[in-house]
Amino acid sequence: MAFQIVPASESLLAEIEIWLDAEEAIYRRASKEWEEADYNGDRPVRGFRCNWDSAKRGWREGRADIHVLLVEGEAIGFLDGTDILEIRPDLRGKGYGRILADFMIQSAWDEGRSVVEIEIAPASAEPFWLSMGFTLVEEREGYGGGTFAYKILPRKFELRGGEMVKYAISFFTAKARYSPEPKPFVEYAGEGVRLADGHIQLPERAFCFNPTDAQHVDYFVKIEVDGDVLHFDKAKREESELCGVLRDAGSVFYVERINPGHGNIAQ
């Protein structure tokens, strides 16, 4: 299968728009027939023509990237970041969607992301994304539209030499942080290695991801070294960054190295 995935151009977008318009026309006819039949049967599935103008606008303004799948020189699919993925209707089921999805996942990895998050619509696409290793979340606070799904991109590190140090990193919601017995929604624990500069390298990335909410909340991070609490504060605070809490391209907080020289126990 000879194919290319290339950055969008005006000519390629125009080519895609032709088959998006054709798909939209079919949907509108089917939708009208469905309404006239008193909504009996399955609701017609709509393509992404309704989102196309905003996607083009974002691309033209430099706020978004669109990549196009070419097969024998024809634009047969496109990817708008992780927001929209579509294959030309007459070529679905031939493996082209998997090619674009693999490209999306690899691009997220190359950007340093910890998680790939997508919205699946229509629901008929859920089996495909499950086969790509995504996990579905049926109910997600603050999330609308289709089904939310995510795929973890684990990052592990080889530890060589140096003193082994026990660590634990936990992430909490604000509500949990101030409860009588704070319980984290995710926790990492194990042994890291102390480097020559005093930092502690972890064997894996510890990241702050809670699939049940929309991430627009204040998370707290607790960092423990050899059983002692080094830091317990909001992940977004400068003091947290000094301890080793960073934020990836998807705005997910993570820790790969602990800096024991800094710490703050917020009350």
Beta strands in the chain (DSSP E): 3-7, 66-71, 74-80, 84-87, 115-120, 135-137, 147-152, 164-172, 186-194, 200-207, 220-225, 228-234, 245-247, 253-258
CB 264 within 8 A of CB 233: yes
Residue 116 is classified by DSSP as E
Give me the helix-helix angle, 49-60 and 10-36, nearest 10°: 160
- Does residue 70 surpass a pLDDT of 90? yes
For the chain, the structural domain boundaries read 3-110, 164-258
Tell me the pLDDT tens digit for each residue of 78-130.
999 887 899 999 999 999 999 999 999 999 999 999 999 988 877 888 999 99
- In single-letter form, the type of residue at position 136 comes to L
Q: Exposed/middle/buried for 219, CB within 10 Å: 0-12, 13-18, 19+?
A: buried
What pLDDT was estimated at residue 267? 43
Which range has the worst mean pLDDT, 16-30, 162-176, 204-218? Answer: 204-218
CB 106 within 8 A of CB 67: no
What pLDDT was estimated at residue 187? 97
- Does residue 155 surpass a pLDDT of 90? yes
- Does residue 77 surpass a pLDDT of 70? yes
Residues in the chain: 267
Share of the chain above pLDDT 90, in %: 74
Q: Which residue carries 């399955």 as its tokens?
A: 42
Cα separation of 253 and 190, whole Å? 19
Q: Exposed/middle/buried for 145, CB within 10 Å: 0-12, 13-18, 19+?
A: exposed
Instruction: Report the mean per-residue pLDDT for the chain.
Output: 91
pTM to 2 decimal places: 0.86
- What's the CATH fold of domain 3-110? Aminopeptidase (3.40.630)
Share of the chain above pLDDT 70, in %: 94
